[in-house]
Amino acid sequence: MTRYIYTNAASREIPDLLQSILVAELIRPSRWLFLASPWISDIPVINNRANEFMLLNPEWARKNITFTDVIVELMERGTEFFLETRPVKSNQDFIDNIKRKTTKPWNNLHQNAVLHRKGLLGDGYFLSGSMNFTNNGITTLEEFVQYTVDPSEVSENRIVWGRSWGKGGE
């Protein structure tokens, strides 16, 4: 299954899709999680103000869960997280939040001044498109994203992304 979304500022499709992906990730964490975004912010990605997701982590009661909260929780559960982003101050805040919150050593960071690709790749899905993982990217700007769980597309991207990290795409 592949889903294409072209969205505008009034749409909740991308935030809702991202929330669904990350909740599923927390329920069944990927072995490797690859994220590429030239611009990245510690945005709220799961709305838990009504406690619908309290079982994912009881410490998250009645609040919006941020991107780094989710990533760190996944790392604590054994996911190896890989981030590629540009070397700019706003992105450094995101990186510093991960390093501050995790108890695990984390060195899977590539900073690339000319990075343009964008995507989130887990064991069974691939989200890609024009969207940066920022508030503007997921809620304000017109974006085109593709979400697929097609095994051949996911596998092909895991090989490509895995090789760029020396993982051989296993």
Measure Cα distances from 170 to 25, 49, 71, 82, 160 in Å: 19, 38, 21, 15, 10
pLDDT tens per residue, range 119-146:
999 999 999 999 999 998 988 888 889 9
**CATH code for residues 2-164:** 3.30.870.10
pLDDT tens per residue, range 50-88:
999 989 999 999 999 999 999 999 999 999 999 999 999
Instruction: Please give the model's pTM, rounded to 2 decimal places.
Output: 0.91
